[in-house]
Amino acid sequence: MALTPTLLLAGFETTLNALLSRDPAAPSRLRALAGSRVLLHLETPPLALALHYHPQGVDLLLIDEIEEDAFDAIVELSAETLGALASGAEMERLMFEGRLAVRGKVHLLEATRDLLLDLDLNWEAELARWLGDLPAHQLAEGLRGLSRWGLRTHQELCADVSEYVFEEARWLPGRHQLEALRESLTELDVATDRLEARLARLTRLLTAEQASP
Amino acid sequence: MDKRTTHFGYQDVPVEEKASRVADVFHSVATRYDVMNDLMSFGIHRLWKRLTIERAGVRPGHSVLDIAGGTGDLALKFSRLVGPSGKVVLADINASMLGMGRDKLLDHGAGGNVEYVQANAECLPFPDNTFDCITIAFGLRNVTDKDSALASMARILKPGGRLLVLEFSKPDNALLTKAYDEYSFRVLPRVGELVAGDADSYRYLAESIRMHPDQDTLKAMMESAGLERVEYTNLTGGIVALHRGIKL
């Protein structure tokens, strides 16, 4: 069991470095990051992962004793926030919402995210090495067509479901209705505060009149 | 007067003879060492070594000594972790293994912060309190006087430094022990003969593992050498154990 996380991490590291070695933009980015150490500290599940950059890629190490001064940047986040970061959520927004805490050199986290999310792999060329130019191109065209179809179907499905839920069945209020309701509630909230203040003033006046001879 | 003897696998040999016989084993297998490690352990030795690196806690600027460093698996990763301000010394008693390690490290671009020393673990040629971390992976069982070697390592560790010993040990399950014995004594020598052209060296490997101290004995030996907070982790059912001690 002691080796399971090590095995998973080793597999991830090998895959990641293999992908980076195929990205033409990665060498210059890695050169800029080489020697930097970033600590990813996940709260749930509890995990401390060190990313150590070198010119050929990144070493990933599980850390059992954290010495913060050994790292250039320390990132504290939850697994959910990590997922949001990986799917392209804005770092500033996550930090503002208190879901992401970064100490040290913040730009290292940005550079890490750019390195991983901007991976530009020429996978058709890799396929061509194994299958030959023509079959690789046909397979790639097929996969691209499938991907476009999947994306279009996903968008259409979302639009259809949204239309049914908001417009036809009216199970949920639409965005504009929600905005109008929120504005009304805000007005009600302000009016209630105002009324409460008036009542408090009247109570004070009545109390003062009763107290005077 | 009787000569002092020690074990070489299951044989008793004069103490002064063991080092040269172990050297012969490694001269014989040096060129096929990495391939055989992958074959014999089904690649799991990479995970054992990786865990050793994780537990070493090495950071930029550290000085690391990898004793019996062989073909440099640990030293390669350490050289990246310590950076240009740190230093890694790859030490091995065997010139063939050291040569293989040096070639491999140079091929992987590790050079500036790595030094190579041919040294006997029993009398390491370094001043007191020199290294932040010392590792010895699959080397201690080949050392003639293990207590002297551990004392020598403790001497050259800096206060607060860590010694990590990765070594074959005793499986903690009877069924696994039986399967492991069958594999070690029947399969390994044949694989050794086929791949490295040397069955005897791999028979010695299996025998030397059985003669090596078990987990608790090695822990006690490390404590006797002056290390503290000694702990061990069984890996792959105790086939291998990773011991870690700190010099305070």
- pLDDT, tens only, A45-68: 788 999 999 888 999 999 888 788
| Beta carbons within 8 Å of B183's beta carbon, 6+ residues apart | none
C-alpha to C-alpha distances, A17 to A52, A54, A58, A211, B137, nearest whole angstrom: 12, 11, 7, 82, 26
pLDDT class of A1 with cuts at 50, 70, 90: low
For residue A36, the chain B residues in CB contact (below 8 A) are none
Domain boundary assignment for chain B: 20-172+203-246
- Residue B50 to residue A10, Cβ atoms within 8 A: yes
Length of chain A: 213
Helix (H, G, I), strand (E, B) or coil at A40: strand
Q: How far apart are CA B46 and CA A69, in angstroms?
A: 29
Instruction: Just give the CATH number of B20-172+203-246.
Output: 3.40.50.150
In a mutagenesis test of the B interface, which of A58, A61, A64, A67 is the best target, namely the one with the most B β-carbons within 10 Å? A61
A1 in reach of chain B (CB within 8 A): no
Helix (H, G, I), strand (E, B) or coil at A135: helix
| Cis previous bond, A24, omega within 30 | no
User: Tens digit of pLDDT for each residue in A112-147?
Assistant: 888 888 887 777 888 888 888 899 899 989 999 999
| Pairing of β A73-77 and β A37-42 | parallel
- Residue B83 to residue A35, Cβ atoms within 8 A: yes
Residue A35 confidence (pLDDT) above 90: no
pLDDT class of B217 with cuts at 50, 70, 90: very high
Q: Which of A3, A37, A59 sits opposite B47 (nearest CB)?
A: A3
- Residue B60 to residue A7, Cβ atoms within 8 A: no
- Residue A6 to residue B47, Cβ atoms within 8 A: yes
Q: How far apart are CA A51 and CA A108, in angstroms?
A: 11
Beta partners for residue B6, in sequence order: B13
The reported pLDDT for the residue numbered B157 is 96
Residue B119 confidence (pLDDT) above 70: yes
Distance from CA of B116 to the nearest CA of A (A): 22
pLDDT class of A150 with cuts at 50, 70, 90: very high
Q: How far apart are CA A119 and CA A45, in angstroms?
A: 27
Angle (nearest 5°) at CA A65 between A112 and A72: 30
Residues 29-88 of A with CB under 8 A from B: 35, 37, 52, 54-56, 59, 61-65, 67, 70
- Residue A52 to residue B57, Cβ atoms within 8 A: no
ipTM for the whole complex: 0.76
The reported pLDDT for the residue numbered B151 is 95
Region for B236 from its dihedrals, namely left if φ exceeds 0, alpha if ψ lies in -120 to 50, beta otherwise = left
Q: Give the number of beta-carbon pairs within 8 Å between A and B.
A: 44
Taking CA–CA distances from A69, the nearest residue in chain B reads: B59
